[in-house]
């Protein structure tokens, strides 16, 4: 597999991909549209499917309101709308809702919201009085806007699937990251969860890395985006530590965890995450020299100013494209990950 530091690559050899029909673009029931949040990823998905993105007008009024109009007939079609809810989160979420509404009013047979990054997912339960559960609120908004189905990647917590009253297909970016790690032929790997809440994710990741041993970083969070690392549970001395998480936001948790792993004797530290949120000062923390590589996917676009030498960006376009085709073809999605 070809990998390029700081740029996207297209590969996922562990996916069980079935051959696509040669005349897929002649299937007049499948339509693919992109919001403005990640047009590069949408174009890569369209290229995998052998079709073009549908034409759409997107305008902004002087007061910030959005106007969207579909520029071709989609009556009776299965429409897939690709739009991650990344920064600016509120604008991108509202754009998705308006796109869904436009497609419903254009008499689409079925509308699927393809959300590579599901925003507002971290508030998924009440941990104190008078809190909002925004993960459920966003699920309600998407459903009420008229979506028939949702395709999401690496939700912050699995329970969010239950917040939807419509079908939801949950796929994972781990096969793409695992492919890359295996291509590096790393030795003496230990998979590390940056917190107790991510143990299930790290355990599943370790199992696919030839049942690599597991370690856990015990930390106590004092405030949002502020983490205090306490100690490491497990043996990392002399090993290649692979930190696994679903997202990297400000990078505080994962950078502090990497420093602790170094102090505990880890010979190398790699960071792996599906979603590169990269809110300041993430880039400074991640490029400080504690990581050999920071491996992420392109569910969220990463501007040039946020790229650094240790960054490796892997594309999930093939994975999303294959999933879209299987949903459209009424084929199994889960079999891709077995």
Closest to 83 in 3D by CA, of 152, 141, 34: 34
Closest to 296 in 3D by CA, of 239, 249, 232: 249
Closest to 247 in 3D by CA, of 281, 219, 218, 271: 271
- Given the structure tokens 């940056």, which residue do they identify? 194
135, 123 Cβ separation under 8 angstroms: yes
Cross-strand partners of 247: 275
Q: In the chain, helix, strand, coil percent, each to 5? A: 30, 25, 40
**Would you call 81 helix, strand, or coil by DSSP?**
strand
1, 307 Cβ separation under 8 angstroms: no
Give the active site residues.
219
């Amino acid at each position: 597999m070809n990998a390029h530091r700081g740029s996207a690559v297209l590969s996922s050899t562990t996916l069980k991909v079935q051959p696509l029909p040669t005349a897929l673009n002649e299937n007049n029931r499948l339509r693919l549209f992109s919001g403005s949040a990640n047009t590069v990823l949408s174009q890569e998905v369209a290229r995998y499917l052998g079709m073009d993105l549908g034409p759409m007008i997107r305008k902004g009024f002087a007061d910030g309101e959005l106007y969207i109009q579909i520029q071709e007939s989609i009556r009776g079609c299965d429409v897939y709308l690709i739009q991650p809810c990344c920064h600016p989160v509120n604008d991108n979420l509202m754009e998705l809702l308006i796109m869904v509404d436009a497609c419903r009013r254009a008499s689409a047979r079925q509308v699927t919201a393809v959300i590579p990054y599901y925003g507002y997912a971290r508030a998924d339960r009440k941990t104190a009085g008078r809190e909002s559960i925004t993960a459920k609120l966003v699920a309600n908004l998407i459903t009420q806007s008229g979506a028939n189905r949702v395709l999401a990647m690496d939700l912050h917590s699995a329970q969010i699937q239950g917040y939807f009253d419509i079908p939801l297909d949950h796929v994972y970016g781990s096969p793409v990251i695992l492919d890359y790690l295996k291509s590096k032929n790393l030795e003496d790997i230990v998979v590390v969860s940056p917190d107790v809440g991510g143990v299930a994710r790290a355990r599943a990741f370790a199992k696919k890395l030839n049942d690599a041993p597991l370690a856990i970083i015990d930390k106590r969070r004092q405030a949002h985006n502020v983490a205090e690392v306490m100690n490491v549970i497990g043996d990392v001395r002399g090993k290649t530590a692979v930190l696994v998480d679903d997202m990297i936001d400000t990078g505080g948790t994962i950078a502090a965890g990497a420093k602790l792993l170094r102090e505990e004797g880890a010979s190398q530290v790699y960071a792996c995450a599906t979603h590169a949120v990269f809110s300041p000062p993430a880039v400074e923390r991640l490029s400080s020299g504690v990581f050999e590589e920071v491996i992420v996917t392109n569910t969220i676009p990463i501007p040039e100013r946020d790229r650094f030498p240790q960054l490796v960006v892997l594309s999930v376009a093939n994975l999303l494209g294959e999933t879209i085709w299987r949903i459209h073809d009424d084929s199994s999605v889960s079999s891709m990950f077995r």
